[in-house]
Chain A
Amino acid sequence: MKSAAGPDPAPRWAAALEAARLLAADDAGRLGGVWLRGPAGALREAWLAALRQAHPPGRPWRKLPQGIDENRLLGGLDLGASLQAGRPIDASGLLAEADGGLLLIAMAERLPARTAGVLAGVLDEGLLRVEREGRSRLQALRLRLVALDESEGEDPPLAPALADRLALCVDLRGLPDGLLRLPTPPLPWAASEAAAPLATEAALEALCASAEALGVAGLRAPAMAWRTASLRARCAGREQVLAEDLIAATGLVLAPRASRRPLPEAEETAAVPPEDTPSAEPANPPPAPPEAPSEASPDGAVTEQSDPQPPPTSADAEPDAAAPAEPADPSPPPQALQDRLLEAAETLLPGGLLQGLRSPAGRLRQAGRGGGQGGLVLADRGRPLPPRPGRPVGGLRLALLDTLRAAAPWQRLRSGPAGPGPQPLRVRPEDLRVQRHAGRRPTLTVFAVDASGSAALHRLAEAKGAVEGLLAECYVRRDQVALLAFRGQGCELLLPPTRSLVRAKRCLAGMVGGGGTPLATGLQAARALAAAERRRGSSPFLVVLSDGRANVALDGQGGRPQAMAEALTVARACQADGLPALFIDTSAQIHPATLGLAQALGARYLPLPARGSAGLVALVQQARPA
Chain B
Amino acid sequence: MGPTYPFVALVAQDEMKLAILIAAIDPAVGGVLVLGDRGTGKSTAVRGLAALLPPMDAVAGCPYGCDPARLGGACAACQAEAGPKPRRIKRPVPVVDLPLGATEDRVLGALDLERALSQGVKSFEPGLLARAHRGFLYIDEVNLLDDHLVDLLIDVAASGENVIEREGLSVRHPARFVLVGSGNPEEGELRPQLLDRFGLAVEVRTPRELPTRVEVIKRRDAFERDPAGFCAAWEPEAAKLRKRLLRARRQVGEVQVDEAALTRAAQLCLALGTDGLRGELTLIRAARALAALEGRAAVGDAELRRVAAPALRHRLRRDPLDDSDAGQRVERAVAEVFA
Binding site for B on A (CB under 8 A): 30, 70, 73-74, 76-77, 82, 86-88, 113-114, 117-118, 120-121, 124-125, 127, 129-136, 138, 140, 159-161, 164, 196, 198-199, 201, 204-205, 207-209, 212, 217-223, 226-227, 274-275, 278-279, 281, 284, 383-386, 401-402, 404-406, 408-409, 411-412, 425, 438, 465, 468-469, 471-473, 475-476, 478, 499-503, 505, 509, 613
CA distance A164 to B104 in the complex (A): 29
Query: Which A residues lie within 8 Å of B191 (CB)?
Result: 475-476
Query: Contacts A408-B117, A409-B111, A502-B186 given; 5 further ones with Cβ under 8 A?
Result: A86-B118, A133-B103, A161-B141, A227-B221, A386-B148
CA distance A513 to B113 in the complex (A): 64
Query: Which B residues lie within 8 Å of A500 (CB)?
Result: 185-189
In the bound complex, do residue B114 and residue A87 qualify as a contact, i.e. CB atoms below 8 Å apart? yes
Given contacts A117-B100, A131-B106, A161-B38, contact A199 B218 (CB under 8 A): yes
Residue of A nearest to B99 (CB): A129
In the bound complex, do residue A205 and residue B214 qualify as a contact, i.e. CB atoms below 8 Å apart? yes
In the bound complex, do residue B111 and residue A275 qualify as a contact, i.e. CB atoms below 8 Å apart? no
- In the complex, whether B217 has a CB less than 8 A from a CB of chain A is yes
- In the complex, whether B320 has a CB less than 8 A from a CB of chain A is yes
Chain B count of residues within 8 A CB distance of the other chain: 65
Selected from A114, A384, A385, A472, the residue in CB contact (under 8 A) with B320 is A472
Within 8 A of A (CB), among B207-252: 207-208, 210, 213-214, 216-218, 220-222, 224-225
Selected from B111, B140, B188, B218, the residue in CB contact (under 8 A) with A405 is B111
Stretch from B63-71, B85-93, B120-128, B295-303 contacting the other chain: B120-128
A140 to chain B, nearest CB (A): 7
- In the complex, whether B162 has a CB less than 8 A from a CB of chain A is no
A96 to chain B, nearest CB (A): 13
Given contacts A220-B39, A500-B187, contact A476 B116 (CB under 8 A): no
CA distance A132 to B189 in the complex (A): 25
Residue of A nearest to B226 (CB): A196
In the bound complex, do residue A118 and residue B100 qualify as a contact, i.e. CB atoms below 8 Å apart? yes
A444 to chain B, nearest CB (A): 15
CA distance A222 to B210 in the complex (A): 12
In the bound complex, do residue A208 and residue B210 qualify as a contact, i.e. CB atoms below 8 Å apart? yes
Residue of A nearest to B4 (CB): A125
Binding site for A on B (CB under 8 A): 1, 37-40, 43, 97-107, 110-111, 113-114, 116-118, 120, 122, 125, 127-128, 140-141, 144, 146-148, 166-168, 184-189, 191-193, 206-208, 210, 213-214, 216-218, 220-222, 224-225, 318, 320-321, 323
Query: Which A residues lie within 8 Å of B221 (CB)?
Result: 199, 204, 223, 226-227
6 CB-based A-B contacts, threshold 8 Å: A124-B43, A134-B110, A204-B221, A218-B37, A226-B221, A425-B117
Shortest 6 CB-CB distances between A and B: which pairs? A408-B116, A468-B320, A220-B39, A412-B120, A131-B106, A132-B103
CA distance A198 to B226 in the complex (A): 11
In the bound complex, do residue B101 and residue A132 qualify as a contact, i.e. CB atoms below 8 Å apart? yes
In the bound complex, do residue A134 and residue B105 qualify as a contact, i.e. CB atoms below 8 Å apart? yes
Query: Which A residues lie within 8 Å of B148 (CB)?
Result: 383-386, 438
Query: Which B residues lie within 8 Å of A503 (CB)?
Result: 186
Selected from A132, A207, A405, A412, the residue in CB contact (under 8 A) with B113 is A405
CA distance A433 to B1 in the complex (A): 38
Residue of B nearest to A499 (CB): B189
In the bound complex, do residue B189 and residue A475 qualify as a contact, i.e. CB atoms below 8 Å apart? yes
Residue of B nearest to A505 (CB): B323
Query: Which A residues lie within 8 Å of B141 (CB)?
Result: 117, 120-121, 161
CA distance A425 to B168 in the complex (A): 18
Selected from B100, B122, B168, B185, the residue in CB contact (under 8 A) with A121 is B100
Residue of B nearest to A225 (CB): B217
Query: Which B residues lie within 8 Å of A475 (CB)?
Result: 189, 191-192
Query: Which A residues lie within 8 Å of B184 (CB)?
Result: 161
In the bound complex, do residue B114 and residue A278 qualify as a contact, i.e. CB atoms below 8 Å apart? no
CA distance A219 to B225 in the complex (A): 18
In the bound complex, do residue B105 and residue A73 qualify as a contact, i.e. CB atoms below 8 Å apart? no
